[in-house]
Amino acid sequence: MSSSARIPASGALRAVAESFPNTDVRLSVEQVSYAYSANPTQAPLFTLEATSFQARPGEIVAIVGPNACGKSTLLKLIAGALAPLSGRVLLNGFVTHALPPRERGQRIAMVQQESPLLFPSRAWEFVLQGRHPYSRKLRFESHDDVLIARNALAQVGAEHLSDRWMDQISGGEKQRVILARALTQQPLLLLLDVGAQVDLLETLRKLAAANRYTVVVVTHELNLAGQYADQVALFQKGKCLRVGPPSAVFQRELLEQVFQTPLTVELTSSGRPRVIVPSAK
Amino acid sequence: MRPLTLSRLLVHCAILGAILFAVVVVALKLGAVPVSLYGLVRDLIRVALGQASQLSSEHQLIVFNIRLPRIFLSIFVGASLSVAGASFQALLRNPLADPYVLGISSGASVGAILALIIEPHLALAPAVAALFTPVGAFLGAALTVTAVYFLGRREGQIDSSTLLLAGIISASFLSAIIQFFMATLSGGNYHGMAYWMMGELSTPQQPIVSWILRVGFFIAAGAIYTTAADLNLLLAGEKEAMHLGVDIRRVRIVVYIAASLLTGLAVSVSGAIGYVGLLVPHVMRILFGSDHRILLPTAAFGGAIALVIADTLARTVVSPSELPVGAVTAVAGAPLFLYLLRRRLA
């Protein structure tokens, strides 16, 4: 599947070129912060403090931390679904929040816990919907769209689900179909906010390498992040404590303080850190 | 994988068009004055050949001046209600949404009655005056759907049961207002106010009103059709649709305005006919799937077919007397509504 053939951004969107001395960087999160408040006159209920990191094509970034630490909020900010309070998120030099919905859909794909469908549809119909950001009004799916959808289903190993109804497949199968729909968007950036499992991350690792996606995944499975991610961003209560390769972030004192539990960190034979929580055994 | 193609859409529409034509022929034949099928076909051919002057004057009057206009009215009212129902179901993410259940038709009735009350005091040109009632009905529909939408929200999200309750309560409140008008204005020339409570199609409309209905239907339904692919994505939720490049605000505004317009147009000529907008889209989904690019056109045909049949029943079953068509659609629609409700709760 080619991700190089893409429609150029409209002229109204100026690339912020000067901020890209390193052209290899695809995603650049720059001092992004956010605050939720029920009422503008009151103190915010939750704040995300300024966060920065960068990611290249083919890289997987894992956002880890305890519940309600701001992981999902950061993902929405990266996706451009929320406007940051300060700072900006750049994807190939474009501010993600400022992209028109269609352009955003061609560049950023989000995989999240799906709300139930209102009316049943088949898996292939669902996957074809990923072509929506490329379709013109009143036009039906082309032969190319069908090929792209088939290819996407094959890449996530879900070809056999093609003719099944979406409400009659298991949760894990559904997640693959949702991922396939994200692939048909032919995105530059793939964002995941789902319960991460081993096979999903293995698939992502392969896809990121093959299609040069930049992947950002939210998870609380430290060991999956340690094993598969190129970078880990560790969050606690809306504050990004550290960003870097897993071995640099997975320090015993730091993790013990964040997760409030005694643990040990050891290195596997592949040089990846592994976190062991003794009490869990 | 069998994606929707233009030819499949056209074939399905052609089949439904043929069914609609057959239903119209039968509806022209049936009635208090019997017309033979042979005579009807002969007359139709003569009209098609431009020899209308050769028709017998009795046939001319009954078939072409009374029954045919009424059937055209049924076609466009049925299609409007059905397309409006399908749109509200997708937009409000509620399979039980329909202009009647949500009180939108009652709101349109109140708007239309207010327009009828105000209009004689304004001394308008006849063309503007003819527009006055549909515009009043549209405003009534738009205001009601906005109110029901906000009343049906809970913690920023539309809640299915809250929305339905809000709609049903609004409908009953608005019906009370209509009752009030009926009681206080009965002396005036408000041609059979009972009309607004339970829809009927027997009141002859001025030609200009029929034209407003037809043109308005094509404009509003066309506007909704431009969002058909977006509505498909909305079935999975607004968050998901947004990430697939749907401009949710634009879709919401276009569909709210156009569906309110369809409801207003239908109500301004026929009163509040229930359940067409609920029942027909569900049947079409079972037959053709839930892709709005095929659902919206087939729902338009289906609504037309359903209402022509219902109105033919309304004027023939208790002949020479007549039932309001809203009673016929309610007899068929209310059990289906309950069935869908039970299945959802199960």
- Does the CB of A106 have a partner CB in chain B at under 8 Å? yes
Distances (CA, A) of B292 to B145, B223, B233: 21, 13, 10
CB-CB neighbors (< 8 A) of A146 in chain B: 1, 3
Asked if B148 and B174 touch (Cβ cutoff 8 Å), the reply is: no
Q: Which residue bears the tokens 């995300």? A: A48
CA distances from B216 to B209, B252, B259 (A): 10, 19, 11
Tell me the CB-side half-sphere exposure of residue B4, using CA atoms within 13 A: 24
| Choice between B202 and A83, residue whose per-residue pLDDT is larger | A83
pLDDT at position A150 over 60:
yes
Q: Does A112 touch chain B (CB under 8 A)?
A: yes
Cβ atoms B75, B307 nearer than 8 A:
yes
Residues of chain A with pLDDT > 70: what percent? 89
Nearest CA in chain B to A138: B226
What's the confidence (pLDDT) of residue B44? 78
Listing DSSP states for B296-334 in one string gives HHHHHHHHHHHHHHHHHHHHHTTTTS---HHHHHHHHHH
**Taking the CA of residue B150 as centre, how many other CA atoms within 13 Å lie in the half-sphere pointing to its CB?**
5
Taking only the tens of pLDDT, chain B with its 346 residues reads 788 888 899 999 999 999 999 999 889 888 777 777 777 777 778 777 777 676 777 777 777 788 888 999 999 999 999 999 999 999 888 888 889 889 999 999 999 888 888 887 877 777 777 788 888 999 999 999 999 988 888 777 777 788 888 999 999 999 899 888 877 776 555 555 666 667 778 777 778 888 889 999 999 999 999 999 999 988 888 888 888 989 888 998 999 999 999 999 998 888 889 899 999 999 999 889 889 999 999 999 999 999 999 999 998 888 778 888 988 999 988 888 788 777 765 4
A118 and chain B in contact, CB less than 8 A? yes
Positive or negative, the CA dihedral B155, B160, B162, B163 is: positive
Statement: residue A281 has pLDDT above 70: no
Residue whose pair of structure tokens reads 């309950």 in the numeric block: B338
Which two tokens mark A212?
């040069």
**What single-letter DSSP state applies at residue B63?**
I
Residue A8, pLDDT score: 45
Task: Single out the residue of A246, A190, A232 nearest to residue A57, CA to CA.
Answer: A190
State whether residue B286 is helix, strand or coil. helix
DSSP class of residue A122 equals B
Given an 8 Å threshold on Cβ–Cβ distance, is A79 in contact with B237? Answer: no
**B67 DSSP 8-state letter:** I
pLDDT at residue B320, rounded to an integer? 77
Mean pLDDT of chain A: 84
| Count of positions (residues) in chain B | 346
Whole-number Å distance between alpha carbons of B93 and A115: 11
Max distance between CA atoms of chain B, in angstroms, equals 67
Report the distance separating Cα B286 and Cα B336, nearest Å: 14
Would the CB atoms of A137 and B244 count as touching at under 8 Å?
no
CA B79/CA A20 separation, integer angstroms: 56
In the CATH scheme, what architecture does the domain A17-280 have?
3-Layer(aba) Sandwich (3.40)
C-alpha A79/C-alpha A97 separation (Å) is 7
Domain ranges of chain A: 17-280
Whether A16 shows a pLDDT value over 70: the answer reads no
Q: H or E segment at A217?
A: strand A214-218
CB < 8 Å to B249, chain A: none
DSSP string, B2-26: ----HHHHHHHHHHHHHHHHHHHHH
Angstrom distance (rounded) from CA A3 to CA B198:
58
Q: Is A262 strand, coil or helix?
A: coil
A143 vs B: CB within 8 A: no
Polymer length of chain A: 281
B130: how many CB neighbours lie within 10 A of its CB? 18
CB A120 within 8 A of CB B290: yes
Q: How many whole angstroms separate alpha carbon A187 and alpha carbon B67?
A: 58
**3-state SS class at A238:** coil
Q: Rounded mean pLDDT of A136-157?
A: 87
A76 has a chain B CB within 8 A of its CB:
no
Structure tokens at B235: 């079935």
Q: Quick check: A117 and B235 CB within 8 A?
A: yes
| Residues ≥6 apart with Cβ < 8 Å to A279 | A261, A262
pLDDT at A36 over 60: yes
Is the Cβ–Cβ distance between A190 and A213 less than 8 Å? yes
State the residue for tokens 């239309």.
B112
CB contact A137 to B (< 8 Å): yes
For residue range A108-117, what is the model confidence (pLDDT) as tens digits? Answer: 999 987 777 7
Which residues have C-beta within 8 Å of that of residue B161, sequence separation ≥ 6? none
Q: Which residues lie below 8 Å from residue B265, measured CB to CB, with a gap of 6+?
A: B76, B80, B134, B137, B138, B212, B213, B216, B217, B220
CATH number of B6-345: 1.10.3470.10
**Whether the Cβ atoms of residue A235 and residue A74 lie closer than 8 Å to each other:** yes
C-alpha B162/C-alpha B165 separation (Å) is 5
Q: Using DSSP bridges, classify how beta strands A273-276 and B157-158 pair: parallel, antiparallel or unpaired.
A: unpaired
Q: How many CB pairs under 8 A join A and B?
A: 97
- Residues A34 and A96: beta-carbon distance below 8 Å: no
If phi > 0 it is left, if psi is from -120 to 50 it is alpha, else beta; for residue B123 that is left
3-state secondary structure of B127: helix
Instruction: Write the CB contacts of B343 (distance below 8 Å, at least 6 apart in sequence).
Output: none
Q: Are the beta carbons of B73 and B213 closer than 8 angstroms? A: yes
What residue segments make up the domains of chain B, in order of their start? 6-345
Give the C-alpha separation, B73 to B75, whole Å: 5
CB atoms within 10 A of CB B270: 30
Residues of A in contact with B6 (CB under 8 A): 140
Torsion of CA B276, B281, B287, B289, to 10 degrees: 180
The whole-number pLDDT of residue A23 equals 60
Per-residue pLDDT at A134 exceeds 80: yes
Neighbouring C-beta atoms of residue A193, cutoff 10 Å: 19
Of B252, B291, B288, the residue nearest A135 (C-alpha):
B291
Q: Which of A118, A162, A175, A186 has the most B C-beta neighbours within 10 Å, making it the best mutation to test the interface with B?
A: A118
- Cα–Cα distance for residue pair B15/B20, rounded to 1 Å: 9
